[in-house]
Structure 1
Amino acid sequence: MSFDSVDFSWAAAGILLAVAVGVVVVTFAVTLVIARVVGKHSIVDVTWGLGFVLVAVAVYVASGVLGTGNPTVRLVALALPVVWGLRLAIYIGWRNHGKGEDPRYAAMLGDGHAPGAITGTVLRKVYLPQAGVMIVVVLPVIAAMVRASVVLPVLVLGAAVWLVGFVFESVGDAQLARFKANPATKGTVLDSGLWRYTRHPNYFGDFCVWWGIFLVAVGHPAGLITVVGPALMSYLLIGVTGKELTEKSMSNRPGYAEYVERTSGFLPLPPGSAPARAT
């Protein structure tokens, strides 16, 4: 394989990137209007999953119009983010239905911020960062859409890593939802199921999903450039908005310190093992 226009169309990739940017801008602009109407900006959490679905569909259609890419690779690169994004959007929409503003956004925007108000602070702290991250994270999908060659073992490996992530994220979310719905467990710490092996099975799953999609793109060397996508997602999940923020909010809950001592912080590991305690 080589960096040539036969195996990888740079011109088509540029067009698809422009399409992706346009879809992201329109999607978040519409979300901003909806947030103003419903009076809460946490609606953007639904957009997070749905936005990737819309971008994946748009670049799939555009790549078909351009006549670029391999049909099998394009279909896989469409299916993986669409299935992941739809599940996430539906789950978060169900979880947040009938609730007010998410405490995270309320704390971020401050007490003086009117519900759903459109301000510079909202754009700077909520919408622009998420839109920017989405454009970067979706780069492997774009690369996969313009790749003419197929490296079947890499394609299968990518789909397998994605599947591991999808299972961890969806099962972890389901277990947490059942736990929260049980009045008997209120104020306690979930330490069963997947949550015995990692304190964040949903974030670990998200991590695997995007590294799997990246592997689908790297059947051609040019796809290696898009490593910035899963790398940025990993940084956010582990060090910024995912693991770090969740653990800060959970730190004062009874039993959480003991849970941290025996349970791996991110990668699934046997509970109480030395590697798990080291995290």
Structure 2
Amino acid sequence: MDNLTIVLLLIVVCGMIMAMVWGWAHAIHNAGVVDIFWSYNFPVIGILLLLMAGGNHIRKYLICSMVIIAGIRLGTHLLFRVSAHLDTEDGRYQQLRKEWAPHADKKFFWFFQFQGLSNVLLSIPFIISALNHKTALGIPEYTGIVLWAISVTGEAIADRQLHLFKNKNKGLVCNTGLWRYSRHPNYFFEWMMWVSYSVFALGSPYGYLGVISPLIILYLLLKVTGIPATEEQSLRSKGEAYKAYQRSTSAFIPWFPARQ
């Protein structure tokens, strides 16, 4: 199967998955389920690349295994979090629903499709690596693996700390563990994970194109759907307590000095 066909198939599969997810979201009036399947789409892409890409088997199995493990972990974490309040839509999507009224459902459909397309665009490092026929692994691949292990572990710890805090401290601001040093340590380690994929891809021809993924993720986290939307919702729900937290912590990078 040629490379273009593989990419087109990934786009079609992710689009079909997101169309079905939109149908479910429409039925239950909760667009927040898109987060679950945005994460699960990456393991789907990893499995399809394992089956279709013709690159070196060791490299292909390594990168695809990394993608599958990380995607399943994050998707399952979000599945449990969203399922706990399936009848109550996340505040970020409630706000979008208000802004997009009276055509919110139609706009959410295209929003879901864009999420599916973004899955494929962000998969550039995986695709490049999985198509590489070169047999020997090099420093970029080994460095990428180490960065990936640190990132996935850090994100899992941050998610676990937030989950435990919320269970015991309803409505309060989490400021313990990694959250003491950064308001969004989960986002930081998520971004670092994408950096690790791009570093891994440097061992393959055209691997420099993999930098597109962490740059897109960084822009989304800092300017669009990540930190801005999350902090707006936190300010609406927690008010002055969250403002004080903002003054005492770094917005993104743990241990980076807070802006006073």
So what's the TM-score if we normalise by structure 2?
0.89
1:42 aligns with 2:9: no
> How far, CA to CA, are the matches of 2:25 and 2:241 in structure 1?
36
Contact 1:36 1:118 in 2 (8 A): no
1-side partners of 2:208 and 2:30: how far apart?
38
User: By how many angstroms is 1:110 displaced?
Assistant: 2.2
Q: Is the 8 A contact 2:197 2:210 kept in 1?
A: no
Asked whether the equivalents of residues 73 and 216 of structure 1 are also in contact (C-alpha less than 8 Å), the reply is no
1:129, distance to aligned residue in structure 2 (A): 2.5
Q: Does residue 276 of structure 1 match 2:252?
A: no
Residues 159 and 216, structure 1, Cα contact 8 Å, conserved in 2: yes
CA 1:29–1:78 in structure 2 vs 1: closer, same or farther (change >3 Å)?
A: same
* Residue identity matched to 2:123: V
CA distance in 2: counterparts of 1:205 and 1:214, whole angstroms: 14
Gaps of 5+ in 2: none
Measured in 1, the distance between the counterparts of 2:31 and 2:227 equals 21
User: Quick check: 1:81 aligned with 2:67?
Assistant: yes
Tell me the equivalent position of 1:107: 95
Q: Which residue of 2 is the match for residue 159 of structure 1?
A: 145
CA-to-partner distance for each residue in 1:74-103, whole Å, 9 max, x for gaps? 011111111111111111111111522222
| % identical aligned pairs | 25
Report the equivalent of 2:117: 132
1:71 aligned onto 2:57: yes
Which deviates more, 128-137 or 250-259?
A: 250-259
Q: Which amino acid aligns with 1:54?
A: V
Aligned counterpart, 1:4: none
Do the aligned residues in 1 keep the contact of 2:100 with 2:107 (CA within 8 Å)? no
Contact kept in structure 1, 2:180 and 2:249, CA below 8 Å: yes
Q: Report the CA distance between 1:178 and its aligned residue.
A: 0.7
What SS class does the counterpart of residue 246 from structure 1 fall into? helix
Q: Which 10-residue stretch deviates more, 165-174 or 219-228?
A: 219-228
Counterpart secondary structure, 1:186? coil
Q: Is the 8 A contact 1:12 1:146 kept in 2?
A: no
Shift of 1:276: 1.1
Match of 1:235 in 2: 219
Matched, 1:14 2:4: yes
Following superposition, the deviation at residue 243 of structure 1 comes to 1.4
The 8 Å contact of residues 144 and 217 in structure 1, kept in 2 or not, is answered as yes
Change (3 A) 1:52 1:112: closer
CA contact (8 A) 2:132 2:204 kept: yes
| 1:217 match | 201
Check whether the contact 2:22–2:108 (CA below 8 A) recurs between aligned residues: no
Pairwise CA RMSD of aligned residues?
2.3
1:253 shift after superposition:
2.8
Distance 1:262 1:118 in 2: 37
8 A contact 1:147–1:220 mirrored in 2:
yes
Shift, 1:61, TM fit: 0.5
Instruction: Report what 2:78 is aligned to.
Output: 92
Supply the distance in 1 between the matched residues of 2:154 and 2:141 (Cα, whole angstroms).
20
* SS of equivalent residue, structure 2 residue 210: helix
Residue deviations 1:138-191, cap 9 Å, x none?
111111110122443211111111112111211111111111111xx3332211
Distance 1:76 1:195, change over 3 A: same
Q: CA separation of 1:46/1:145 partners in 2, compared to 1, >3 Å: closer, same or farther?
A: same
Q: Quote the Cα distance in structure 1 between the aligned partners of 2:82 and 2:258.
A: 33
Q: How many residues align?
A: 255
Matched, 1:257 2:243: yes
User: Gaps spanning 5+ residues in structure 1: where?
Assistant: 1-10, 270-274
The alpha carbon displacement at 1:226 in A equals 2.8
Q: Where does residue 193 of structure 1 map in the other structure?
A: 177
Report the AA paired with residue 124 of structure 2.
L
Judge conservation of contact 2:91–2:233 (CA < 8 Å) in 1. Answer: no
